[in-house]
Amino acid sequence: MSSAPVTDRIPVRYGIVLLAALLVSFVYALLVANLLRWAWAVGAAVSLSLALFLCYLLYRAVLAIERISYKL
């Protein structure tokens, strides 16, 4: 059983920009001495990203099940 291939790829520059933003925010948190708030914000962003990714996987599963049911 194969799934539909994903043709859209996220450009590498978006990852570089994201890492640069995380690094700048981390340095700012160190300068302000508020590291715990930075860790909380990064944790919240990771949690939100994981939730969105799981919703995307659920959406792909629904599409696959619909495609299989149409073929029956």
pLDDT in tens, 7-49: 667 777 877 888 888 888 888 777 777 777 778 888 888 898 8
Spell out the domain ranges in the chain: 12-71
The pLDDT assigned to 31 comes to 77
Distances (CA, A) of 36 to 27, 32, 43: 13, 11, 10
- Quick one: pLDDT at residue 2? 57
